[in-house]
Amino acid sequence: MLKYNDLRKGVIFLLEGEPYEVLEYSITAQGQHRRPVSKTKIRNLKTGAIISRNFKQSEEFDGAEIETKKIKFIFGHRGKYIFSEIDNPSKRFELTSGVLGEKTQYLRPAVELEAISFQEKIINIELPIKMDFRVVECPPDFKGNTAQAGTKTATIETGAKIEVPMFIKRGNIIRVNTQENTYVERVKSDTLY
């Protein structure tokens, strides 16, 4: 049984029979008597819907029994994304962009991921926290450009846009934190795959 203050970022729990993942969490005191309330932003793992919800001290939740297994991304087309088991490429399944949300911006063919199963049905995927991508578009840097605190927007091979330091150039390989959508570091090797 989970209490309201156990709902930290990344915790998966059941709410009204549906599995939810906590995306943001903070505790504040509200009301005349200043009772603590946990303010959360949570995502339904089945539908991908994100909602903001406050929980009181008296509320308790069941942990969601989920399982994970290794999978591979094959391709995406018109909002549908096809995956397969690592060892058995003929065992395929499909998830929509509505369920996957922002995760789609980091999907490239043959990347290995984890499938999240709830009640023996695959409902979502989990990306590696850090992934490497090639920069395909990046404005040039020039001296004196400090208006943006020394960063610029680069486009990676999947089409996602990431704020990167001024020294990053087209063709560089960068490491990205997929949970925070942020640049981590430039990768020295040119061997990406």
Average pLDDT along the chain: 87
Instruction: Give pLDDT, residue 29.
Output: 76
All structural domains of the chain with their residue ranges: 2-63, 66-126, 130-187
- Asked whether 67 and 117 are in contact (CB, 8 A), the reply is yes
Q: What is the CA radius of gyration of the chain?
A: 20
- Residue 101, phi then psi, degrees to nearest 5: 60, -135
| 130-187 has the same fold as 66-126 | yes
- For the segment 5-56, what is each residue's pLDDT rounded down to a tens digit? 788 888 889 999 899 988 888 888 766 667 788 889 998 888 878 899 988 8
Instruction: Give pLDDT, residue 49.
Output: 84
Task: Please name the fold of domain 2-63.
Answer: SH3 type barrels. (2.30.30)
- Residue 103, phi then psi, degrees to nearest 5: -60, -25
- Placement of tokens 């990205």 in the chain: 176
pTM of this structure = 0.75
Instruction: Give pLDDT, residue 158.
Output: 94
- Asked whether 113 and 127 are in contact (CB, 8 A), the reply is yes
Helix runs in the chain, H state only: 97-100
Rounded to whole angstroms, the Cα distance separating 73 from 65 reads: 24
As given in the structure block, the two tokens for residue 43 are 């995502």
Task: Give percent of the chain with pLDDT exceeding 70.
Answer: 91
What is the SS3 assignment for 49?
coil
Which residues of the chain register pLDDT less than 50? none
Task: Please name the fold of domain 130-187.
Answer: OB fold (Dihydrolipoamide Acetyltransferase, E2P) (2.40.50)
Instruction: Give pLDDT, residue 157.
Output: 95
CATH architecture of the domain covering 66-126: Beta Barrel (2.40)
Instruction: Give pLDDT, residue 10.
Output: 80
Rounded to whole angstroms, the Cα distance separating 135 from 112 reads: 20
Instruction: Give pLDDT, residue 37.
Output: 83
